[in-house]
A = this chain, B = another copy of it.
Amino acid sequence: MLIAEPLEIAIQQLSKLPGIGRKTALRLSLFILRQSEADVSKMTESLLKLKSDIKFCSECFNLSVDELCPICSSTTRDKSVICIVEEINDVVAIEKTNDYKGIFHVLGGVLSPLDGIGPENLKIKELMRRIEKIKPSELILAMNPNTEGEATALYIANLLQETNIKITRIARGLPIGSDLEFADEATITRALEGRIQIK
């Protein structure tokens, strides 16, 4: 096939991105070709700056430009509540609600013995050290509601059995806007177990 070399290289590079195959990479490349030179360099600069300027917060391992992320260095956040999440995306998802006022701890993954990921590969040691230092009143376990997430939540809860910190797990149940008819059994079971009294 006779594809111009710079196009072929751009396609190869773009298709390394997650969820982007050769066809999408070609479409993106042709879109980029139609942009102005200034627009293209604005985009590539933003990616280089992303890589060079962003580090991990030394406290919670969220993304940060400085030593501490904006959440850890904020004076208005409640430092007695730590929400433990798997990945940085989860911080973004929770922050979007504008409802959570505590701080975070990003584990950087979940326990997954099949993939060779044990407690030493996650920021669990760092979490324990932080708990000792901050002495929070509550830990919210906000791992995803799947096997690995539940196992990781259980593992952390077990580590802290001896302490008197309140440990909570985010509710599992029917998502807003969904339909009982189409929900799976495990979700309905959890929704029933987690029912709350309204009167």
Whether B51 lies near A32 (C-beta < 8 A) is yes
B-side contacts of A71, CB under 8 Å: 2
Segment touching B, from A8-16, A145-153, A173-181: A8-16
Interface size counted on chain A using CB atoms at 8 A: 57
B-side contacts of A5, CB under 8 Å: 65
B-contact bits for A1-42, CB 8 A (1 contact / 0 none): 111111101101110111100001011111111010101111
| Complex A-B: 29 CB contacts under 8 Å | A1-B92, A1-B96, A2-B71, A2-B74, A2-B95, A3-B92, A4-B64, A4-B65, A4-B69, A5-B65, A6-B46, A6-B49, A7-B54, A10-B46, A10-B49, A13-B43, A13-B46, A13-B47, A14-B47, A17-B31, A19-B27, A26-B89, A26-B92, A32-B50, A35-B51, A37-B51, A37-B52, A44-B45, A44-B47
Nearest CB of B to A18, in Å: 5
Is A196 an interface residue, CB under 8 A from the partner? Answer: no
Our pick among B10, B39, B49 for the contact of A50 (Cβ within 8 Å) is B10
Tell me the A residues contacting B by CB distance below 8 Å: 1-7, 9-10, 12-14, 16-19, 24, 26-33, 35, 37, 39-54, 63-65, 69-71, 74, 87-89, 92, 95-96, 98
B-side contacts of A51, CB under 8 Å: 32-33, 35, 37, 40
With A47-B10, A47-B13 as contacts: A4 and B70 at CB distance below 8 Å: yes
State in angstroms the CA–CA spacing of A95 and B46 once bound together: 35
Whether B37 lies near A28 (C-beta < 8 A) is no
Whether A50 lies near B88 (C-beta < 8 A) is no
State in angstroms the CA–CA spacing of A4 and B51 once bound together: 12
Whether B24 lies near A28 (C-beta < 8 A) is no
Q: Which 5 A-B pairs have the closest CB atoms?
A: A44-B44, A10-B50, A2-B70, A13-B46, A13-B43
